[in-house]
Amino acid sequence: MMRRGPLRKGTGGAGFTLLEIMVAVAIMVLIVTVVVPQIGDLAQVQLRSATRRLAGTVRHVYFEALLTKQDYILNYDLDRHEYWVGQAVFNPELNAIEQIETKRGLGRRHRLPPGIEFASVEAADRPSRSSGMELTFFSHLGVAEPTVIELRDQKRREVRLEVAPYAGRVTVGKP
């Protein structure tokens, strides 16, 4: 019969004690309880970010129209969840306003973050739209079409942006 002796110290035992395992599990549980709720709010963070970016674009276009003495159009593609700026030019032959690309880099398309979409856009006296294309006109005289833009995230939370016609100000709130 083989007799076992006590474990020798200093041999670098190959395992962890029960106490070490329990401490490691407790730390992981603590991390998960702190991090997981933050990840769940990622959609709300993206909704706020998209709202700030769109509001900033509206203000920028309003002041750009005033400073450059040019008319601009802020386009919304509600199906592709994109928006961009074009320059508005009057065509006397057609007696209509046409849109051309801007020369100052404003025409770059901006895509809403994943999971964020246009819920609806209502500009001037036109009916509210939830699909297709819509636009907001910015005059070089300092007037913007009154527009209400609603953004929505995957959890159906919505944010409403209202464009003030004479100040270029954007009011943000809930629908």
High-pLDDT (> 70) share of the chain, %: 87
Q: Is the pLDDT of residue 134 over 90?
A: yes
pLDDT at 89: 86
Say if domain 42-173 classifies as CATH 2.60.40.10.
no
In this structure, are residues 148 and 140 in contact, taking their beta carbons and an 8 Å threshold? no
Q: Residue 121 pairs with which residues in a beta bridge?
A: 129, 149
Tokens of 40: 């769940």
pLDDT at 34: 77
Query: Which helix (H) or strand (E) is 123 found in, with range?
Result: strand 117-123
pLDDT at 4: 57
pLDDT at 39: 61
3-class SS of residue 45: helix
In this structure, are residues 31 and 152 in contact, taking their beta carbons and an 8 Å threshold? no
pLDDT at 52: 94
**132: nearest Cα among 78, 61, 74, 168:** 78
Q: Which residue matches tokens 């008319």? A: 71
Q: Residue 81 pairs with which residues in a beta bridge?
A: none
Task: Classify 142 in phi/psi space as left (phi over 0), alpha (psi -120 to 50) or beta.
Answer: left
Per-residue pLDDT tens digits for 34-91: 776 666 577 788 999 999 999 999 999 999 999 999 999 999 999 999 999 999 888 7
pLDDT at 7: 53
**Between vectors from CA 159 to CA 156 and to CA 163, what angle results, nearest 5°?**
150
**What mean pLDDT, rounded, does the chain reach?**
86
pLDDT at 36: 67
Q: Is the pLDDT of residue 10 over 70?
A: no
As a whole number of angstroms, the distance between CA 29 and CA 34 comes to 9
